[in-house]
Structure 1
Amino acid sequence: MRKWSFVVGGLLVALLLAGVVSNFASPHPDGLDSSLREGCTLDTDGEITGGSCPAQQEQEHEIGGPLADYGIAGLDNEFLSTGLSGVLGVLLTFVLAGGAFRLVRRRDAAPETGGSRDADRPGTPATSQG
């Protein structure tokens, strides 16, 4: 029970951070964006107006998607769009990771009928009964 309360508590904290706190993240470019803009001239809105830098080659993603650009396509409320995309991202990650852990987790194919469980494991000496 303690394990599940830890997992649920962690999920709730992640949902809170993704749904609410993500809206207060800095709108300024992060380190990667800043380094890609080195050598370019920017206007007051942060748009490239001249110079030469790798950021001039950036394009919109060809595929797009419902959660592109940290928001939900079609929602006009930016606060709600960012929060919901964060919550959906956390839930999707939680479901996929949970499914992967379930697949990887070792389960016994059939219950043991008796004897030592270590006897069937490689690398452990079998005990003789006699």
Structure 2
Amino acid sequence: MGNKKWWLIALVFCLLLATISPLASSSPDGLEKVAEDKGFIGAAGDAPFEIIADYVFPGIENEAVATILAGWIGTLLLFGIAYVIAWLVRSRGEKAAAR
């Protein structure tokens, strides 16, 4: 199977995971649970910037749809960046091999 086919399969898989993400447990994850149990949850600082805060796309009232959209956008951005980096590395390698 070619590399492009693997990229596509991985992308579709991740988009499907983002689609079912509203079904995930609303309970805190392990680290957040420990912070709550030990009483230092309030010591956490805010992120310096947030593209899609709390994994919910702003302006959409339906929380499930907003979560799915945030997941899709994040997945597409991440795959786009990774694809560009892989393309740059591959093209540099081909240029170096041609010399």
Q: TM-score range by the shorter chain?
A: 0.7 to 0.9
Highest Rg: 1 or 2?
1
Q: CA deviation at 1:110?
A: 8.6
1:28 is matched with 27
Q: Is 1:80 equivalent to 2:65 in the alignment?
A: yes
TM-score of the superposed pair, with normalisation by structure 2? 0.82
The structure richer in strand per residue is 1
The structure richer in helix per residue is 2
SS of the residue 1:8 aligns to: helix
Q: CA RMSD in A?
A: 2.3
Structure 2: 5+ residue runs without aligned partners? none
Residue correspondences, number: 97
SS of the residue 1:23 aligns to: helix
2:84 is matched with 99
TM-score of the superposed pair, with normalisation by structure 1? 0.64
Q: CA deviation at 1:12?
A: 0.8
SS of the residue 1:32 aligns to: helix
Structure 1: 5+ residue runs without aligned partners? 40-52, 113-130
**Higher relative contact order, structure no. (Cα contacts within 8 Å, ≥ 6 residues apart):** 2
Percent identity (aligned):
33
